Amino acid sequence: MGKKITVDSATLFNKGLEVIEAHYLFGAEYDDIEIVIHPQSIIHSMGETQDSSVLAQLGWPDMRLPILYTLSWPERIYCSEITWPRLDLCKLGSLAFKAPDNVKYPSMSLAYAAGRAGGTMTGVLSAANEKAVELFIKEKISYLDIFKVVELTCEKHQEELVATPSLEEIVHYDSWARDYTSALQCSSSG
């Protein structure tokens, strides 16, 4: 999947960012969005309806299918067994689910907080995370520093949070977050 998403999966920042995405894509309130850890990565999304039924999208743990669907929407493109094997639920065995450990992985709580703060905070969170992961991959910070520098960047941004930003302000604070995260890295490595 690539180094960035692999690190985001390890820190569970990917789950926090997906919560923010779900809020904006579906208009769901943050209190109505729940993270569920599914180790097999077969169920990619689930939504509970008003009657308590749950609708789920299942597929192999591979991003090619969601990308194919995105490119072909609203149509579905036929995939043969040769190009894309069918999902055989009987061969999969069981599907497991568990609640996330917010103490071990505080990134999810930080993402919820950034989402609730709104405005430029969600972009700052995303940009700071991207920069922190880049610094980790380049071995400039440790794995445990990823969360710390993102958290410090978000805390600093509270002073300048813009509730209803223009496009220029969004771009400005994206750049600011990357620069601030880099500066934190420099001060902590010295």
- 147 in Cβ contact with 110 (< 8 Å): yes
Q: Are 182 and 109 in a shared domain?
A: yes
d(CA 12, CA 102): 10
CATH code of the domain in which 149 resides: 1.10.1740.10
Residue 93 confidence (pLDDT) above 90: no
State the total domains in the chain. 2
Mean pLDDT of 89-115: 93
Query: Are 110 and 82 within one domain?
Result: no
Residue 185, pLDDT > 70, answer yes
CA distances from 3 to 12, 68, 84, 190 (A): 14, 21, 24, 26
Q: How far apart are CA 146 and CA 15, in angstroms?
A: 15
Higher pLDDT, 46 or 105: 105
On whether residue 112 sits in a domain, the answer given is: yes
pLDDT at 69 over 90: no
Task: Spell out the alpha helix ranges (H) of 45-166.
Answer: 64-72, 89-92, 107-117, 121-137, 143-157
If asked whether residues 117 and 76 sit together in one domain, one would say: no
> Looking at the predicted structure, is the pLDDT value of residue 72 above 80?
yes
Question: What is the span of the domain harbouring residue 53?
Answer: 43-91
pTM of the entire predicted model = 0.86
Q: How far apart are CA 180 and CA 118, in angstroms?
A: 19
d(CA 180, CA 17): 20
Mean pLDDT taken over the chain: 91
